[in-house]
Amino acid sequence: MPKYYEGKEEDGRACGGVREDLRQCLLESPCVLQENKSPKQCLREGHCRSLQVTFFACKRSMLDTRARFRGRKGY
């Protein structure tokens, strides 16, 4: 189960769970902790890539008119 659901309040925004997990992944990455880079720089370097792709797919599914039948991607 994603870290997002463990003792946290529900975020009412779209793709909130994926957004929170991506944020936590970046803040806990060695790029931020050891190299003292910003999370934005670490994201550009390719850290937490799978969560970034999932977040992009979730945001893209919001624009897809078929999503009202299939549901939003992500969690």
What confidence tens digit (pLDDT) does each residue in 28-65 have?
Answer: 999 999 999 999 999 999 899 999 999 998 888 888 77
Residue 39 belongs to a domain: yes
From the list 15, 8, 23, 26, the residue with the least C-alpha distance to 54 is: 15
Residue 50 belongs to a domain: yes
What predicted TM-score, i.e. pTM, was given to this entire model? 0.73
CA distance 27 to 10: 20
Residue 1 belongs to a domain: no
Range of the domain at 46: 16-64
CA distance 14 to 75: 10
pLDDT at 29 (0 to 100) = 92
pLDDT at 1 (0 to 100) = 40
- Domain count for the chain, please give it: 1
Residue 9 belongs to a domain: no
